[in-house]
Copies of this chain bind each other. A is one copy, B any other.
Amino acid sequence: MSSDPLVIFTPSGKRGHFPVGTPVLTAARQLGVDLDSVCGGRGICSKCQITPSYGEFSKHGVTVADDALSEWNKVEQRYKDKRGLIDGRRLGCQAQVQGDVVIDVPPESQVHRQVVRKRAEARDITMNPSTRLFYVEVEEPDMHKPSGDMERLVEALEAQWQLKGVKTDLHILQGLQPALRKGKWKVTVAVHLGDENQPPKIMHIWPGYYDGTLYGLAVDLGSTTIAAHLCDLKSGEVVASSGIMNPQIRFGEDLMSRVSYSMMNTGGDQEMTRAVRDGMNALFTQIATEAAIDQSLIVDAVFVCNPVMHHLFLGIDPFELGQAPFALATSDALSLQARELDLNIHPAARVYLLPCIAGHVGADAAAVALSEAPDKSEDLVLVVDVGTNAEILLGNKDKVLACSSPTGPAFEGAQISSGQRAAPGAIERLEINPETKEPRFRVIGSDIWSDETGFDAAIATTGITGICGSGINEAIAEMRMAGVLDASGLIGSAEQTGTARCIEDGRTNAYLVWDGSAEGGPRITITNPDIRAIQMAKAALYSGARLLMDKFHVETVDRVVLAGAFGAHISSKHAMVLGMIPDCPLDKVTSAGNAAGTGARIALLNTKARREIEETVAASRRSKLRSSRVFRSILSMPRPFPTRKNPSQFWPQ
């Protein structure tokens, strides 16, 4: 047994003997302990903070003396005076081993720290970003060793950080020489490590030590909305989130309309490509302004989207996606440069697009799979990501099937007579008294129900402007439960229902939710065409799930995860009453929020997850773990069941 002091690291439990005088950082590196450092142990970056513990540790079988580490030194004092240091913390590169010691590495000193997700059932994200900072000291040029400055920087990165064969871009070469001289041959380099089988690549160079943050974007490029999270690539934190309407909406509300636009108009696909990229740039400026950061510090971006958006974003005509066999131009994951897509972030920033699973089962479905991990589930889980286009996954650890379904924008309040986006003033919750058939509701911006005191005051500023996605769905489910609506989806007359709220509306009837016309406000009604729109949307959704279940030869699923912005707002009960999802115990229906966006964030923060989902998708192709027949039968029609005579098949009796 060695007589050298024993060093034990927590939480990893790694341990080893090291000679007296070994810096803690060196010991950590030799043991493969995850202890961060940007400056490589030069006492500059302070990323290697550790907390030594003293006293007796019977669990570890050691007693740590007060002088187990070298004395607090000037470098540490200078750092503490200047930037502050939590009591009990030391700098790992300064503190040297003097005797047996137990050393804790706090989460913020770990490179591969865990980013905790809020939901209990969701896995944490392990940090493994594509791009990291490295501080290096570069050899000065010498007439007798006439290699270029770049070649000496590359040598330094290999010698000091074991990064082999680092490559670079022309724009880095153009700024290299001034940066090296300004930094007196000490520079901080952002290196992209993320691409498999590709050499590491220099993204940016700062003279001297750069104490800043690098950022990445996780973007959910939906048919209707584009949502982005700006993430700190070191801590994994979401620094800002923002969203805009997809500017392509003016070319068609749903995917097939946009494919048609491209078919009918020469250059239509290019118009749409420009529109979505311009929109993206507006969003990036907005989010960078909100976070008060320089847009050029965004060095990585992950995009998830359905195949039509995928192709239009890349500048590929989606023509082939408009007809069987729905051939994708490319299905593999893509790694591109931001400038190839005209994105105004760092010029060398990488753009990663998750792989597409099949013709209309896109990178968004892959992202949902990454976030919700049905392939790791013990029980049979149905994941439904509801948007203008719905991604549906069904499976467990043995097998996962996926399909997509064109629900259209009705669930989001579009194509609804009184519908509107989820914004202040919109009715978002609604109940109907089965006896009186009278409604009560709540509008976005207030917690007070319409039959409670203070309601009028609460809505004084916003007014009541319309009904949003969750509101329309609850309204229809409540109308059905209150007997205002029959099983086929027809609204009864005032006579049939016994309430004056059922009013004549052309050849059918409508249900009056709110009449603000006396004050110049809107008259909010649910009309029979509204019912039909929701029926078609929910039928598309249900039949997608149902067909996957048929493929699995099951009649029920163990649990349901409702994802998407809409999925977060609709109540499980109303979703089930509407027949959007198969029957399932209510307590087994959970909401996952924006699962596609979360999948994008996982891929952004952990490059290993990119390889994981690439392999999962590739494996699913090999073993036919996806259900191509399903999305064909749904997607071969621009709207589901437009001529269906009897929608009651999909309607709970």
Q: Using a CB–CB distance below 8 Å, which chain A residues touch chain B?
A: 141-151, 165, 170, 173-174, 176-178, 197, 199, 314-317, 319-320, 324-332, 336, 340-341, 356-359, 361, 621, 624, 626, 628-629, 632
| Contact call A146/B331, Cβ cutoff below 8 A | yes
Contacts of A628 in B (CB 8 A): 143-144, 146
Contacts of A317 in B (CB 8 A): 174, 177-178
A199 to B626, CA, bound (A): 30
Contacts of A357 in B (CB 8 A): 146
Contacts of A148 in B (CB 8 A): 327-332, 356
Contacts of A173 in B (CB 8 A): 314, 316, 329-330
| Contact call B327/A144, Cβ cutoff below 8 A | no
For the complex of A and B, 5 pairs with smallest distance between CB atoms: A146-B358, A148-B331, A141-B327, A148-B328, A150-B330
Contacts of A315 in B (CB 8 A): 170, 174
Given contacts A170-B315, A170-B336, A170-B340, contact A146 B177 (CB under 8 A): no
| Contact call A330/B149, Cβ cutoff below 8 A | yes
Nearest neighbor of A357 in chain B, beta-carbon distance: B146
Nearest neighbor of A168 in chain B, beta-carbon distance: B330
A178 to B262, CA, bound (A): 14
A357 to B176, CA, bound (A): 19
A336 to B173, CA, bound (A): 12
Contacts of A143 in B (CB 8 A): 324-326, 359, 628-629, 632
Given contacts A145-B621, A146-B359, A621-B145, contact A316 B177 (CB under 8 A): yes
Nearest neighbor of A355 in chain B, beta-carbon distance: B148
| Contact call B621/A146, Cβ cutoff below 8 A | yes
| Contact call A177/B621, Cβ cutoff below 8 A | no
Q: Which of A143, A331, A341 has the most CB of B within 10 A?
A: A143
Nearest neighbor of A180 in chain B, beta-carbon distance: B327
A146 to B355, CA, bound (A): 12
| Contact call A147/B359, Cβ cutoff below 8 A | no
Contacts of A174 in B (CB 8 A): 314-317, 329
Contacts of A336 in B (CB 8 A): 170
| Contact call A176/B329, Cβ cutoff below 8 A | yes
| Contact call A151/B332, Cβ cutoff below 8 A | yes
Contacts of A320 in B (CB 8 A): 141, 149, 177
Neighbour of A142 across the interface among B319, B325, B329, B340, CB < 8 A: B325
| Contact call A621/B314, Cβ cutoff below 8 A | no
A142 to B624, CA, bound (A): 13
**5 more CB-based (< 8 A) A-B contacts, given A141-B320, A170-B340:** A141-B325, A146-B628, A147-B621, A150-B331, A177-B329
A79 to B316, CA, bound (A): 38
Nearest neighbor of A152 in chain B, beta-carbon distance: B327
Nearest neighbor of A147 in chain B, beta-carbon distance: B331
Contacts of A144 in B (CB 8 A): 624, 628-629
Contacts of A177 in B (CB 8 A): 316-317, 319-320, 327, 329
Can you list 17 A-B contacts (CB < 8 A)?
Answer: A141-B327, A143-B628, A144-B628, A148-B327, A149-B327, A149-B329, A150-B330, A150-B332, A151-B332, A165-B197, A170-B314, A170-B336, A173-B316, A176-B316, A176-B329, A177-B317, A197-B199
How far, in Å, is A615 (CB) from chain B's closest CB?
A: 15
Contacts of A197 in B (CB 8 A): 165, 199
| Contact call A146/B328, Cβ cutoff below 8 A | yes
Nearest neighbor of A270 in chain B, beta-carbon distance: B174
A482 to B361, CA, bound (A): 89
A326 to B328, CA, bound (A): 52
Contacts of A145 in B (CB 8 A): 621
Nearest neighbor of A145 in chain B, beta-carbon distance: B621
A94 to B315, CA, bound (A): 43
How far, in Å, is A43 (CB) from chain B's closest CB?
A: 29
A306 to B638, CA, bound (A): 62
How far, in Å, is A319 (CB) from chain B's closest CB?
A: 7
| Contact call B146/A330, Cβ cutoff below 8 A | no
Contacts of A629 in B (CB 8 A): 143-144
How far, in Å, is A178 (CB) from chain B's closest CB?
A: 8
A357 to B327, CA, bound (A): 50
A141 to B360, CA, bound (A): 14
A240 to B149, CA, bound (A): 37
A629 to B146, CA, bound (A): 11
A326 to B628, CA, bound (A): 63
Q: Which of A174, A336, A356 has the most CB of B within 10 A?
A: A174
How far, in Å, is A623 (CB) from chain B's closest CB?
A: 12
Nearest neighbor of A326 in chain B, beta-carbon distance: B143
A359 to B572, CA, bound (A): 72
A260 to B79, CA, bound (A): 44
A626 to B146, CA, bound (A): 9
How far, in Å, is A87 (CB) from chain B's closest CB?
A: 47
Contacts of A147 in B (CB 8 A): 328, 331, 621
How far, in Å, is A486 (CB) from chain B's closest CB?
A: 38
A178 to B320, CA, bound (A): 9
A629 to B143, CA, bound (A): 7
A336 to B176, CA, bound (A): 17
Contacts of A632 in B (CB 8 A): 143
A67 to B151, CA, bound (A): 62
A93 to B331, CA, bound (A): 35
A199 to B320, CA, bound (A): 28
